[in-house]
Amino acid sequence: MSDAIELRPPLRDADVARLKVGDRVVISGTIYGARDAAHKKMVELLDAGQPLPADLHGGILYYVGPTPAPPGRAIGAAGPTTSGRMDAYAPRMYEYGVKATIGKGYRAPAVIESLVKHKAVYLIAVGGLGATLSGCIKAAKVIAYPELGTEALWEFKVEDFPAIVANDSRGRDAYKEGQEVWAKKLAAA
C-alpha cells in the first residue's frame, strides 16, 4: 500500500497523534496477539501490581487466535477477532501503555474515551482474510499462557501488516461517521 502510513512499534504519542480515522497503515516489527482469556490474565496482573509477561508499553495488541502453522509458514490463519470481547479489558491496557489495538468491529464508548485519555488508536483489519494476513507474520511464538492454546499471548514479527484507523486519539469513530454519511444519503434518496 504505497499511500499507507508506516508504523514500527513501539509507538510514541507522536506516532499516534498523526493518525486519523480512515488512514491506512502498514505495520512492521513486533506486535502481540491475544484474545479475551489472555487479556483477563494480564489485567489481573496489572490490578495486582505485577509485571506483564512482556513489556507492552508503546505496543500493538492484535485481537487474534491463530490456527496452527502449516508446513513452511510461521503461523496458520490469523484473522482478527471481534473486538467487543476485549472492551472490558481495553481501557486498562491503554492505561498501562498499549498504543494500538487491532481487531474487527466497533468499540464501546468507554473504549473510545480511553483512546483519547491515553493517546491510543484502534485499528481494524479485514475479517475473512486470515490466511492472507498470516502471510505478513514472519515469525510467531507463544510467550505466555500456553495453557490457553490459540488464546495465549503471542509475539509476532510482522512485515507490512495492513490495517485501517477506525478510532483515533481525538475521539473520532469511523463506524459512527459512516452511519451518519449513509443516513444522510438515504434521507436524500
Q: Range with the lowest mean pLDDT among 27-31, 61-65, 150-154, 184-188?
A: 184-188
* pLDDT of 1 higher than 60: no
The pLDDT confidence band at residue 2, using thresholds 50, 70 and 90, is: low
| Measured distance CA(188)–CA(109) in Å, rounded | 29
Secondary structure class of 126 (helix, strand, coil): coil
DSSP secondary structure letter of residue 2: T
Yes or no: say if 25 and 162 are a contact pair by the CB < 8 Å rule.
Answer: yes
Within its chain, how far is the Cα of 49 from the centroid? 24
Q: What is the pTM of this model?
A: 0.93
pLDDT of amino acid 179 = 77
Mean pLDDT of 39-63: 97
Mean pLDDT of 22-45: 97
Q: Which three cell numbers stand for residue 32?
A: 502481540
Sign of the dihedral through C-alpha 122, 127, 130, 132: negative
* pLDDT of 34 higher than 60: yes
Residue 99, C-beta contacts closer than 8 angstroms, at least 6 positions apart: 9, 10, 11, 12, 13, 15, 16, 58, 59, 60, 119, 120, 121
Per-residue pLDDT of 82-106, as tens digits, reads: 999 999 999 999 999 999 999 999 9
Secondary structure class of 94 (helix, strand, coil): helix
Yes or no: say if 92 and 115 are a contact pair by the CB < 8 Å rule.
Answer: no
Q: What is the mean pLDDT of the chain?
A: 94
The pLDDT confidence band at residue 178, using thresholds 50, 70 and 90, is: confident
DSSP secondary structure letter of residue 102: E
The pLDDT confidence band at residue 187, using thresholds 50, 70 and 90, is: confident
Residue 84, C-beta contacts closer than 8 angstroms, at least 6 positions apart: 105, 106, 107, 108
Burial letters 80-92, b for 16+ CB under 10 A, else e:
bbebbbbbebbbb
Mean pLDDT of 21-47: 97
